[in-house]
A and B are shown apart, each in its own frame.
Chain A
């Protein structure tokens, strides 16, 4: 009965409509699942912007919404990088902010005045729903199987590798960039298949959007030419390729140059030269193809050989010349660090100090992709079985992205889409084979399972031409069908379980708010960051300059709304090193630096009381290292280690360490919390010296509830012109030390 009814709906035009309807419903469900699995943090905490960079994006979006697009474009931000400022409008990718701004204004127009914060928080989940849709379209282009696209969409929707950058509140460029990446690839494949200028132009359009949204657009810029190049090398040049590539390149390059931050890079930097080169190559190939029709083959061979040689020499020589002369920028440092993982540590310590730029640990692949990671090679292998133009793309993408994901943790993000697609292709093949209730039609002899196995094997190993021509793949035994389908279902369920668990536990913490458990199991929220930022916002002058390590720059700008010296943009290494020097030097050295930079307050993070390990003392060595990079004479990393090479903060700590401003600020007054001589640092597990450090040039202004954030006010110059140390001594009633004869260390006279 049910079958009969089903048949009625699943055949003919009605069947097509029914299936289309089902597909739409399934895709909507997938999108809903994608959105809702990203809402853990909103439900657990609140609608809040996460981490560090999103706070800048949020602040920029607010600026855009308040002041309009043109002043955003020309935005010079004097509240960061004091006293330098930052040409923010020209040094960011505006795609994300403009997207939220447009959504904001459209909703406003529809009389739905939604708060801009909520739009920003929910942008990433919303776009992940679209990513699932784009993945469906992309996969459907790759595979004939009706289920591959839906599976890929479902994988893309919930895989932790993508969720890690797109939970609600993670308002970063990647939030929309991954959608754009997948959708641009889809359009590229579509235009390549059809040889259509319209699809090519659409590719260029979305490529331009992608350029405006994320620095990772370079991945597309290099992947599409590589695909075209490989196709040419495989002898698969076709007018379709010519039309789609040239359309994309010409329009896409123009579109990308509209973004001020990119500007003339597409024609001047080495990162973009591959696209240009392939563009030229395509013209050549097209020309050669044209000539081939006109000339006899003998002459053609000679001509071709000499032509190819000549042009290659000229083009390569020109490129080298331009690079040497400086017209074309050489490869950027970040690019080198992709090939040599040790490069950043030596040459760009700031990049190396960011944890997401570290090489990926192997378990991370399984953690982020679960079973997809072992289905992935199978899917890529299956692309070789029917190697059409689009399957070549998958292979190239897979190889490149796998390598990049191995080099840098954050590039796991670019790997995830292709893993989902490939895994879905592999899994859909299994399901399509095993999920057919009917036995295969006995066109060939159907004697039993042994024959089938043979047939199956023959399809994989093309021994005889006849069996490859019409391979019959099919399963007869219900037992094996059930076993396979059952195990696949179990794997899928486990996958969902894993994804939910990872998302819930690893990726849903706002990191601004820390959650802990009380002994009775209830959630206790540690909100020291916002406590301190809000204090700054309410109780300091509007233009009070805050000095802190660069990690907190964006948050101070966003939550405390106060000017900062350095922030997460890290464009000026020297400025960061200056802050590092101020933090790691003695007070007498730091004070003039702070005065010169008009610092009013110094903010540090201290986890010693609570056992919060991500604090400034643990990051201190990076400050020292970065400062040492600029002032190797004045700041030396070696001085912060004991003679035995230990990094200590207790009474064994080196004098340099104990006199550094950071150490003093961290442990100032810390003794008063404990009985005498019992002061304990719970992060480093060390007992502190009985006598705490004394501060003379700065004074404590605010300390948060759990001592995570400590804010110090920089004192003004002394009224009577004394230095602060002697003023403090006077206040305490100490007798002024008589300037006794300086007994310096004996110096050997050498004349």
Chain B
């Protein structure tokens, strides 16, 4: 029995090591081009018209750039560069580019282009699906979020005061190409905007810059802005909600075929970035985590045990986990915790009609849904598949920075469970709806590895006990009866 189990585990090891080398369907963002620091994007495009929308409703600015680009080169071109300042690019997340005219085409392939040494700007490189013919035009819709962008000002306030935050950006949309016409619209959460930069020169229409209508500002329009031009402006506005920033989220999804269970555990390291000394309004007092219907056994703990202040509402329509941190998290404070729950596996796993293949579809990101939003500096998702699963492939629309398949040895494992580890940076809670689809092969023999091993082990224990029991340890010869 033992030898069979051993042989099985050896076989499993062989297969897994070979499957790890397989390519995956979704390519992570890790392949970075290294360019020299003197690099300048070839001037092959022109922005005919550019409209940027900055939405400040949530704690992270969401920027959408709709731009009509035109190929001014003689050759068809497919590489469009999008510049960011060096410090900013590390905080830009969830960058997606689509064709404005044809959104169904899916997101374009995007990668970060990195310089070898200190460089003032860095670029995202957008690969157009089909090269753009000379003097042809295409409308791109570029959307991204900027994390840790709001700065409370003043940084420390009294109990009864309102919190104001400041956001600094360039009035001219940064671009690597000359822009014929552009403007920036800013949407604020309220009309209480005490301070904002008024540019000295009027805009192209000859009116004061910016234009103000209630809670919406417009910087521009500007005409004929050269490539790389910048004009820093800042706005300071009332924002009474907490600024929740998760520096790290670790998310484990564990599949159990025997138990028919999908166990999820999430570990958060939160940092409240609001103004210090804490008016009650901007303290983080409650997190609401909507889960899939049918979720059971939720828990909410931290390093020193269970946190008793949580409620779980579960019925046919919703499953809502209401968490209250141990202490109200005021500005500048940190709080780390873990939550977890079980779910019926049948809702997430499907068996392929042929072969031993399975398809698992799980959300990439769950976690709290807050009116002010939640931003995640780094998200690490681990999908722990059953022991003996092989030929693992995955697909997701979330931009990843790395992926890795390894073994994770835990309860009663002889060999270890196949684990898929995905890492993404700078996400926000809007990415909750994205899924990971994992396909893998799980032969039925692998399912019997564990019971057989345990059976063999118990057998060995009995045999040893019998052998030890029948050894005569007395010094004198035993008397014949």
Contacts and interface: CB of A to CB of B under 8 A. Distances in A.
Contacts of A530: 304-305, 326
A704 B327 contact: yes
Interface residues of B, number: 20
B333 interface: yes
Interface stretch (B142-150, B408-416, B425-433): B408-416
Contact of B304 (A559, A702, A705): A559
A111 B414 contact: yes
B303 interface: yes
Nearest to A513: B308
B425 to A, nearest CB: 23
Contacts of A309: none
A559 B307 CA distance: 14
B222 interface: no
A535 B328 CA distance: 10
A527 interface: yes
A47 B306 CA distance: 8
A140 to B, nearest CB: 21
B303 A113 contact: no
A530 to B, nearest CB: 6
B411 A533 contact: no
A537 interface: yes
Contact of A538 (B305, B333, B409, B412): B333
Nearest to B334: A538
Nearest to B410: A113
B327 A702 contact: yes
Interface residues of A, number: 23
Interface string A670-709: 0000000000000000000000000000000010110000
Interface in A689-740: 702, 704-705
B167 interface: no
A531 interface: yes
A354 interface: no
A527 B327 contact: no
A473 B368 CA distance: 76
Interface in B305-319: 305-309
B151 interface: no
A537 B303 contact: yes
Contacts of A535: 326-327, 333
Most buried by B among A112, A527, A534, A538: A538
Contacts of A537: 303-304
A78 interface: no
Nearest to A560: B304
B435 interface: no
Nearest to B337: A534
B302 interface: yes
Contacts of A48: 305-306
Interface in B106-163: none
Interface string B86-107: 0000000000000000000000
Contact of A111 (B302, B307, B335, B413): B413
B334 A534 contact: no
Interface string B281-314: 0000000000000000000001111111100000
B335 A538 contact: yes
A538 B336 contact: yes
Contacts of B303: 534, 537
Contacts of A445: none
A262 B333 CA distance: 45
A46 interface: yes
A531 B413 CA distance: 37
A539 interface: yes
A539 B334 contact: yes
A606 B307 CA distance: 22
A291 interface: no
B326 A525 contact: no
A532 B305 CA distance: 13
Contacts of B307: 527
A111 B303 CA distance: 23
Given A112-B411, A538-B336, A531 B327 contact: yes
A682 to B, nearest CB: 22
B322 to A, nearest CB: 16
Interface string A538-569: 11000000000000000000010000000000
B330 to A, nearest CB: 9
A256 to B, nearest CB: 27
A533 B307 CA distance: 13
B326 A527 contact: yes
B326 A534 contact: yes
A111 B305 contact: no
Given A530-B305, A537-B303, A113 B333 contact: no
A534 B327 contact: yes
A534 B304 contact: yes
Contacts of A513: 308
Nearest to A534: B326
Contacts of A112: 411-412
Most buried by A among B305, B336, B411: B305
Contacts of A532: 327
B306 A46 contact: yes
Contacts of A46: 305-306
Contacts of B414: 111
Nearest to B308: A525
A111 B308 contact: no
Nearest to A538: B334
Interface in A508-529: 513, 525, 527
A425 B305 CA distance: 44
A559 B302 CA distance: 11
A125 B476 CA distance: 41
B12 to A, nearest CB: 15
B451 to A, nearest CB: 14
Interface in B403-426: 409-414
Given A530-B304, A534-B304, A111 B411 contact: yes
Contacts of A527: 307-309, 326
Contacts of B326: 527, 530-531, 534-535
Interface string B18-59: 000000000000000000000000000000000000000000
A46 B300 CA distance: 12
A532 B328 CA distance: 11
A535 B336 CA distance: 10
Contacts of B411: 111-113
A389 B305 CA distance: 51
Contacts of B412: 111-112
Contacts of B302: 534
A232 B307 CA distance: 61
B286 to A, nearest CB: 14
A539 B325 CA distance: 14
A625 B14 CA distance: 72
A108 to B, nearest CB: 10
Nearest to B328: A705
Contacts of A539: 333-334
Contacts of A533: 304
A225 B307 CA distance: 52
Contacts of A559: 304
B76 to A, nearest CB: 56
A533 B304 CA distance: 9
A537 B170 CA distance: 40
A663 to B, nearest CB: 25
Interface of B: 302-309, 326-327, 333-336, 409-414
20 contacts: A45-B306, A111-B409, A111-B411, A513-B308, A527-B307, A527-B308, A530-B304, A530-B305, A531-B326, A534-B303, A534-B304, A534-B327, A535-B326, A537-B303, A538-B334, A538-B335, A539-B334, A559-B304, A702-B327, A704-B327
7 smallest CB-CB distances across A and B, nearest first, come from A525-B308, A46-B306, A559-B304, A538-B334, A531-B326, A48-B305, A534-B326
Given A527-B307, A527-B308, A534-B303, 16 more contacts: A45-B306, A46-B306, A47-B305, A48-B306, A111-B410, A112-B411, A112-B412, A513-B308, A530-B326, A532-B327, A534-B302, A535-B327, A537-B304, A538-B334, A538-B336, A539-B334
